[in-house]
Amino acid sequence: MMPLLDGLVVVDLCQFLSGPYASLRLQDLGARVIKIERPDGGDLSRRLYLSDTEIGGDSTIFHAINRSKESLALDLKDPADLAALKKLLTRADVLLQNFRPGVIARLGLDYDTVRAINPGIVYASITGYGDEGPWVDRPGQDLLAQARSGVMWLNGDADQGPVPFGLAVADMLAGAAVAQGVLAALVRRGRTGTGAHIETSLIEALVDFQFEVLTTHLNDGHRPPKRSAFRSAHAYLAAPYGVYRTADGWLAIAMTPIGRLADLLQIEALAPYRDDPGSWFTERDAIKRSIAGLLETQPTAHWLAILEPADIWCAKVLDWPELMASDGFKALDMLQTVTREDNVSIVTTRSPLRIDGERARTRRAAPLIGEQSQSIRKEFGL
Query: What is the Cα–Cα distance from 189 to 192, expressed in whole angstroms?
Result: 5
Query: What three-state secondary structure class fits 290?
Result: helix
Query: What three-state secondary structure class fits 316?
Result: strand
Backbone angles phi, psi at 187, to 5 degrees: -65, -45
Residue 333 a catalytic site member:
no
C-alpha torsion angle, residues 309, 310, 313, 319 (rounded to 10) = -30
Query: What is the Cα–Cα distance from 22 to 182, expressed in whole angstroms?
Result: 9
Residue 58 contacts residue 51 (beta carbons within 8 Å): no
Q: Which listed residue (6, 110, 171, 327) is catalytic?
A: 171
Helix, strand, coil share of the chain (percent; to 5): 40, 15, 45
Q: Which of 139, 12, 103 is nearest to 66 (CA)?
A: 12
In 38-146, beta strands by DSSP E = 54-55, 58-59, 70-73, 94-97, 122-127
Query: What is the Cα–Cα distance from 147 to 150, expressed in whole angstroms?
Result: 6
114 Cβ contact list (under 8 Å, min separation 6): 86, 89, 95, 121, 123
Residue 328 contacts residue 337 (beta carbons within 8 Å): no
Strand partners, 10: 33, 94
Written as one string, the DSSP assignment of 116-129 is HH-TT-EEEEEESS
Q: Which of 255, 254, 259 is nearest to 275 (CA)?
A: 259
10 Cβ contact list (under 8 Å, min separation 6): 23, 26, 27, 31, 32, 33, 34, 92, 93, 94, 95, 96
Active-site residue set: 171
